[in-house]
Amino acid sequence: MSCFNDIQKALIDCEPERTISLVKTAVADNVPAGDILNKGLLAGMDVVGERMENEEMFIPEVLTSANAMSECVTILKPMLGEEERGATKTVLMGTVQGDLHDIGKNLVSMMMESAGMEIHDVGVDVAPETFVEKIREIKPDILGLSALLTTTMPMVKDTVDAIVEAGIRDEVKILVGGAPLSQDFADEIGADAFAPDANVAARVAKSL
Domains and their CATH numbers in the chain: 2-85 (1.10.1240.10), 90-207 (3.40.50.280)
**What pLDDT was estimated at residue 85?**
56
185 within 8 A of 150, measured Cβ to Cβ: no
What pLDDT is stored for residue 113 in this prediction? 84
Q: What pLDDT score was predicted for residue 139?
A: 97
* Per-residue pLDDT at 87: 58
**3-state secondary structure (DSSP) of residue 121:** strand
Q: What is the pTM of this model?
A: 0.76
What does DSSP assign to residue 165?
H
The angle that helices 59-76 and 43-53 make with each other, rounded to 10 degrees, is 170
Strand partners, 120: 92
Give the Cβ contact number of residue 193 at 10 Å.
20
Low-confidence ranges of the chain (pLDDT < 70): 1, 81-87
Helix (H) or strand (E) holding 94: strand 90-95
Cβ within 8 Å of residue 201, ≥6 positions away: 108, 111, 112, 144, 175, 177, 195
> Looking at residue 78, what is its pLDDT?
85
**What value, to the nearest 5°, has the Cα angle with vertex 112 and ends 184 and 154?**
35
Q: What is the pLDDT of residues 16-74, one digit of tens each?
A: 999 999 999 999 999 999 899 889 998 999 899 889 888 999 989 998 998 999 899 88
